[in-house]
Amino acid sequence: MEKSTEQENDTLDKCLAILRKQGYKITPQRRAVLAAFGSCGRFATVQQLLEVVRRTQPDVSLDTIYRNLTLLAELGIVHEVHRPSGNAFEVVAPGHHHHHLVCTECGKTECINICPMNKLYEKEADKRGFFVTGHVFEVYGLCASCRSRLLKK
51 or 105, CB closer to Zn ion? 105
Q: How far is the CB of 151 from Zn ion (least distance, A)?
A: 12
58 or 116, CB closer to Zn ion? 116
* 56 vs 60: CA distance, rounded Å: 9
40 or 146, CB closer to Zn ion? 146
What long-range pairs does 60-68 form, CB within 8 A, spacing at least 24?
Answer: 60/29, 60/32, 64/29, 65/33, 68/29, 68/30, 68/33
Which residues bind to Zn ion, rule: CB under 5 A?
103, 105-106, 108, 111, 115, 117, 143, 146
